């Protein structure tokens, strides 16, 4: 099978497996695991933040941010197609007791003026705005990179209103590689940031959340409450270190493969690529094939290609470490054939 469903399907490299096997470990709930501590220091330095914390997943990292920044009854401002709103099981409401105020973005980027207009203060009728969330890259916008000037403008609005900004940077390193800037240049316009080790970076599990030392100290209690306090976690933190040290620059290969794939798909009748290819995601409208996205995905699977569905008409192709150019060419031949 040529698996283009997601970059989450990547398998750990041989170097990651070796690092896991040889990892020095300790009890991380007591903050005694040296490998986790090294991973957290490394991540914080890369992001330009005071401190960082290893979490089990991007969703857990986002929820810890909401729980730490807000209080029950608050409202958080999010882009209407954001992951935290669409794909996290309504956790912001179930756990933190906050409600979302959604803003329709342009390729995932919210208009700063609309963000400012959406902020609510102390009125007995309204929930106070407790947090603003930006997603970069933006998944449902096809891996779009939110421009730095947009992030800066939103951060200035938030700072003026004393509201924290959280970055759902699940694919943050894809954004950084795409614009040729270090990740700290993106993270500077946020108070806290979460990124995944387990997507394009290829580690088998885990994410990082970072911010001020005060924030991370509070976040550790929320991680514990959510069941995220782990013990000899160095065996899964070690592959994360390998990912940060060896897998960042090669993301450019995934981006080039996505552009190659998009160009090839665009030359096939009835395959309408609907997004600008910034990073590693290609969205295709298949309605002209006379099939729903579920039907088309099933047809592709029967011929050896796996894709994700994005609503009734869209399918998503995602390039990653385990799919090389030859596999992309094979996938294009299959799509053309059927």
Domain segments of the chain as ranges = 11-246, 250-337
Contact of 154 with 189, CB cutoff 8 Å: yes
Q: SS3 for 126?
A: coil
pLDDT by residue for the chain (338 residues), tens only, comes to 999 999 999 999 999 999 999 999 999 999 999 999 999 999 999 999 999 999 999 999 999 999 999 999 999 999 999 999 999 999 999 999 999 999 999 999 999 999 999 999 888 889 999 999 999 999 999 999 999 999 999 999 999 999 999 999 999 999 999 999 999 999 999 999 999 999 999 999 999 999 999 999 999 999 999 999 999 999 999 999 999 999 999 999 999 999 999 999 999 999 999 999 999 999 999 999 899 999 999 999 999 999 999 989 999 999 999 999 999 999 999 999 98
Question: Quick one: the chain helix, strand, coil %, rounded to 5?
Answer: 45, 15, 40
How many Cα atoms within 13 Å fall on the side-chain side of residue 159? 10
Do 11-246 and 250-337 fold alike per CATH? no
Q: What is the pLDDT of residue 122?
A: 82
Q: Is the pTM of this model over 0.75?
A: yes
Rounded to whole angstroms, the Cα distance separating 16 from 241 reads 9
Q: What pLDDT, on a 0 to 100 scale, did the predictor assign at position 4?
A: 98
User: Which CATH code, of 3.90.1150.10, 2.60.200.20, 3.40.50.12780, 1.10.101.10, is assigned to 250-337?
Assistant: 3.90.1150.10
CATH 3.40.640.10 fits domain 11-246: yes
Determine the Cα–Cα distance for residues 246 and 202; give it in Å rounded to an integer.
10
CA torsion angle for 13, 328, 299, 303 (degrees, to 10)? -80
| First-to-final CA distance of the chain | 16
**Contact criterion met (CB below 8 Å) for 123 and 117:** no
What is the reported pLDDT for 229?
Answer: 92
Q: What pLDDT is attached to residue 132?
A: 98
**What is the four-CA torsion angle of 176, 178, 179, 182, rounded to 10 degrees?**
20
Q: Which pLDDT score is estimated for 121?
A: 82
pLDDT at 21: 98
DSSP secondary structure of 3-39:
E-S-GGGPPPPHHHHHHHHH-----GGGT--HHHHHH
Q: Helix 251-266 vs helix 325-337: angle between axes, to the nearest 10 degrees? A: 20
């Amino acid at each position: 099978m040529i698996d283009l469903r997601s970059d989450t399907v990547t398998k750990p490299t041989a170097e990651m497996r070796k690092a896991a096997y040889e990892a020095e470990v300790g009890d991380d709930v007591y903050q005694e695991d040296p490998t986790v501590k090294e991973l957290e220091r490394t991540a914080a330095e890369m992001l330009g933040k005071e401190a960082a914390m290893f979490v089990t997943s991007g969703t857990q990292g986002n929820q810890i941010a909401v729980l730490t920044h807000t209080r029950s009854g608050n409202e958080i401002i999010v882009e209407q197609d954001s992951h935290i709103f669409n794909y996290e099981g309504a956790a912001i409401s179930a756990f933190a007791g906050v409600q979302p105020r959604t803003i329709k973005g342009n390729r995932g980027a919210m208009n700063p003026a609309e963000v400012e207009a959406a902020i609510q203060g102390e009125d007995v009728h309204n929930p106070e705005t407790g947090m603003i969330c930006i997603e970069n890259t933006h998944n449902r916008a096809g891996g779009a990179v939110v421009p730095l000037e947009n992030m800066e403008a939103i951060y200035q609005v938030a700072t003026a209103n004393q509201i924290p900004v959280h970055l759902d940077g699940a694919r943050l390193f894809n954004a950084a590689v795409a614009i040729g800037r270090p990740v700290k240049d993106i993270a500077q316009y946020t108070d806290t940031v979460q990124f995944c080790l387990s997507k394009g970076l290829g580690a088998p599990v885990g994410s990082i959340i970072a911010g001020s030392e005060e924030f991370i100290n509070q976040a550790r209690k929320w991680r514990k409450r959510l069941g995220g306090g782990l013990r000899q976690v160095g065996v899964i933190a070690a592959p994360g270190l390998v990912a940060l040290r060896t897998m960042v620059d090669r993301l450019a290969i995934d981006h080039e493969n996505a552009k190659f794939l998009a160009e090839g798909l665009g030359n096939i009748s009835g395959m309408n690529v609907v997004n600008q290819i910034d990073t590693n995601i290609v969205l295709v409208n298949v309605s002209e094939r006379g099939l729903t996205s579920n039907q088309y995905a099933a047809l592709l699977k029967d011929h050896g290609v796996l894709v994700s569905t994005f609503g009734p008409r869209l399918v998503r192709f995602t390039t990653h470490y385990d799919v090389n150019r030859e596999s992309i060419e094979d996938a294009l031949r299959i799509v053309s054939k059927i």
